[in-house]
Amino acid sequence: MDLVVGATGLVGQQIALGLNKKGRNVRAMARGGRNHEKAKPLISAAIKIVDADLTKPETLLSACADIDTVVCTATSMPHGNDDGLRRVDRDGILALIECAERAGVSHFIYTSYSGNIREDSPLETAKRDCENRLLSSRMRATILRPSYFTEVWLSPALGFDSANGRARICGSGDAKINYISFNDVAAFAVAAAEKPPAKSAVLEMGGPEALSQLDVIRIFEKTLGKKFGLDHVPVAVLTEQHRTSDPLQKTFAALMLAYAKGDAIPGSMETARSYGVKLHSVFEYAATMSKTAMA
């Protein structure tokens, strides 16, 4: 049986549904169980839901009982504070790893983020601590390290407003990034669960092409047929923001600093092919936005 932790989130829900479609026996962990506000798609798919909470370690051992594979995508981001980043992203997931190991879980799939992102922040500390704990465990570990999510970083929430033709550029905008669709990250997790690697593996994952922020602007301008207005945020400004003592703001500044520096992932296509995953491009995403605008 598979346990999906973070099953009500953006990626976790797709993984739970994807595993279910493959005919696998899936248990989804959600705070509040079936009463969770985002549990409806899981309930509709007849996925078993267990009420457990990463901030309450005493609930985790029973959630891991009779489980062969754990898939963890849980995070307190983007709304987490110091308490959330520490209690969920670090301490909560470390407790989950401990419980999974004690329960005899054989394979643990953990969604981290790109190995190129090394700016100091509470999220960075949490991700790397959990990675290290997993790699030292008795379980086989698959650590997924995706680059920046296309649907998140090219959205109005992060200053990329394609509908109104306006975008925020971090730094010069010239550094290359292998943007990856969250759907492709979910596909990697499903594939890894179905065919576990012979030994623990760390997968650096990106989309099919390395594009700069300015390359992305040109793609959207051509696809949507309109000129974008740009708001530049210098690296010096991001560096100053990164000096804050506020944990959540420090984490966002760290992610934007790394974004400005670029996140090219060599070998992305080869990695995807080895797992049978078809990567979606920024070109395809822009075309989807164009169709949405015309609807």
For the chain, give every domain's residue range: 2-289
Mean per-residue pLDDT for 192-203?
93
Residue 214 has a pLDDT of 98
Residue 179 scores a pLDDT above 70: yes
Which residues neighbour 217 within 8 Å (Cβ) at sequence distance 6 or greater?
167, 169, 173, 228, 230
Residue 78 has a pLDDT of 80
The three state secondary structure string of the chain is CEEEECCCCHHHHHHHHHHHHCCCCEEEEECCHHHCCCCHHHHHCCCEEEECCCCCHHHHHHHCCCCCEEEECCCCCCCCCHHHHHHHHHHHHHHHHHHHHHCCCCEEEEECCCCCCCCCCHHHHHHHHHHHHHHCCCCEEEEEEECCEHHHHCCHHHCEECCCCEEEEECCCCCEECCECHHHHHHHHHHHHHCCCCCCEEEEECCCCCEEHHHHHHHHHHHHCCCCEEEEECHHHHHHHHCCCCHHHHHHHHHHHHHHHCECCCCHHHHHHHCCCCCCCHHHHHHHHHHHHHC
Residue 293 has a pLDDT of 64
Residue 15 scores a pLDDT above 70: yes
**Rg value, the chain, Cα:** 19
Q: Among 64-73, 158-167, 272-281, 283-292, which is the least confidently predicted range? A: 283-292
List, for residues 108-149, the tens digit of each pLDDT value: 999 999 999 999 999 999 999 999 999 999 999 999 999 999
- What CATH superfamily is the domain 2-289? NAD(P)-binding Rossmann-like Domain (3.40.50.720)
Percent of the chain clearing pLDDT 90 (strictly above): 91
Percent of the chain clearing pLDDT 70 (strictly above): 98
Mean per-residue pLDDT for 146-156?
97
pLDDT band (50, 70, 90) for residue 82: low
Mean per-residue pLDDT for 274-291?
94
Mean per-residue pLDDT for 240-250?
94
For residue 53, give the amino acid letter.
D
Residue 107 has a pLDDT of 98
Residue 295 has a pLDDT of 55
Alpha carbon distance 215, 240 (integer Å):
27
List, for residues 256-273, the tens digit of each pLDDT value: 999 999 999 999 999 999
Residue 83 has a pLDDT of 79
Mean per-residue pLDDT for 69-98?
90
**What's this model's pTM, rounded to 2 decimal places?**
0.94
Q: How far is CA 241 from the centre of its chain?
A: 23
